[in-house]
Amino acid sequence: MLTLGIETSCDETSVALTDRRRVLSNCVTSSLRLHAKFGGVVPEIASRYHVEYINYVLASALRRAKKRLADVELVAVTKGPGLVGALLIGVSAAKALSLALGAPLVGVNHVLAHLYSVFLDHAARPKFPFIGLVVSGGHTSLYLCGDFDDVRLLGQTQDDALGEAYDKVAKILGLGFPGGPVIEKMASGAKGRAEPRFPRAYLEEGSLDFSFSGIKTAVLYYTRGAGRLSKSLIRGICSGFQDAALDVVVDKTLSACERHGVRQVVVGGGVSANNALRQKLFQAARGRGINAYFPDFKFCADNAAMIGLVGEELYRRGARSDLYMGVDSNLKL
């Protein structure tokens, strides 16, 4: 089934063509550079960018896949969560295409798509059931996944998302936006140096929820009391922060596996591209006899290929949307 996927939940404008988990094309353009001076994504700027570029991205996706619009059999689109204005651009485009082509329409949960991006063009795929971890700038959640349409929430952040914490710590240290890549790079250069140890927030006993606001605040107070911040000290702070945050994420994810008798864990979302997270989870999971799976790096950030994949899987299980479908900025699984 040739599926056209559309993703516009935040700053990426993406269109893809997929067919039974094969990615024929996946075109992405981002307005991220326009948001950098503001220290975060500005919804109005993101929405205007989608309006300006979505037709060009659509044409590019069709050209790279060597397909015509008339070949499309299914239209899948992100309906939430995300920025309302940005979501509306993608959903409006998807409805127009569905109506014009006479192709069925399926609205997709953005978080669910991140969770299953590991199935895209991947040699070693997990089997259900597994524990799913979504880590991004807006989400940090754990799920028990029995199938594409059988997902149960186990725990989620109670304040900042993991990617959001990275961004805020980067701002405290004057490292710019986005914070994830620069903090990872700075932390990797801190090996062999003394570094501050920041608190690990595990919340109440047995909880699978997350909290990162305390680590962020600890970094803020530490920097205020440290005086002049040398490059060496900043590297150490980045390393200490990253270790504290990732230790909790890894521990709780593997605890969820053991609690539910599952021997597989799947990670998705923008922070799944973080090499320190990958190394920590692979190593800890191997020690407990658990297999860990990550998507290819090109599918970690927001992309339409994951929307097409999940849209087709849900369609095969009976999911349908109509032209009255709305968007939901806080859509839950």
pLDDT at 36 over 90: no
Q: Which two structure tokens, joined as six digits, stand for 245? A: 């945050």
Q: How far, in Å, CA of 62 to CA of 57, rounded?
A: 9
Q: How far, in Å, CA of 237 to CA of 80, rounded?
A: 35
Strands 74-80 and 2-7: parallel
pLDDT of residue 192: 58
Tens digits of per-residue pLDDT, 51-60? Answer: 999 999 999 9
Q: How far, in Å, CA of 7 to CA of 82, rounded?
A: 10
pLDDT (mean) for 31-59: 94
Which CATH superfamily, name and number, covers 2-116+299-316?
ATPase, nucleotide binding domain (3.30.420.40)
pLDDT of residue 194: 58
pLDDT at 305 over 60: yes
Instruction: Of 132, 144, 160, give the one whose Cα is nearest residue 245.
Output: 160
Give the angle 290-292-293 at the CA atoms, nearest 5°.
Answer: 150
pLDDT of residue 330: 86
pLDDT at 141 over 90: yes
Q: Measured in whole angstroms, how far is the alpha carbon of residue 41 from the centre of its chain? A: 15
Task: Name the strand (E) or helix (H) holding 133.
Answer: strand 130-135
pLDDT (mean) for 19-34: 95
Judged on CB neighbours under 10 Å (0-12, 13-18, 19+), 226 is middle
CA dist list (Å): 82 to 43, 93, 270, 323: 10, 16, 14, 20
Eight-state DSSP code of residue 200: P
- Return the amino acid letter for 179: G
Q: How far, in Å, CA of 29 to CA of 239, rounded?
A: 31
Cβ 218 vs Cβ 199: under 8 Å = yes
Residue ranges covered by each domain of the chain: 2-116+299-316, 126-294
**Residue 227 or residue 8, greater confidence:** 8
**In what side-by-side order are the strands of the sheet with 105-109?**
22-30, 12-19, 2-7, 74-80, 105-109
Judged on CB neighbours under 10 Å (0-12, 13-18, 19+), 34 is middle
Reply yes or no on domain 126-294 having CATH 3.40.50.720.
no
CA dist list (Å): 48 to 13, 42, 82, 128, 275: 11, 10, 15, 40, 33
**DSSP reduced 3-state for 308:** helix
Tens digits of per-residue pLDDT, 144-200? Answer: 999 999 999 999 999 999 999 999 999 999 999 999 999 999 999 876 555 799 999
Q: Measured in whole angstroms, how far is the alpha carbon of residue 157 from the centre of its chain? A: 14
pLDDT (mean) for 22-27: 97
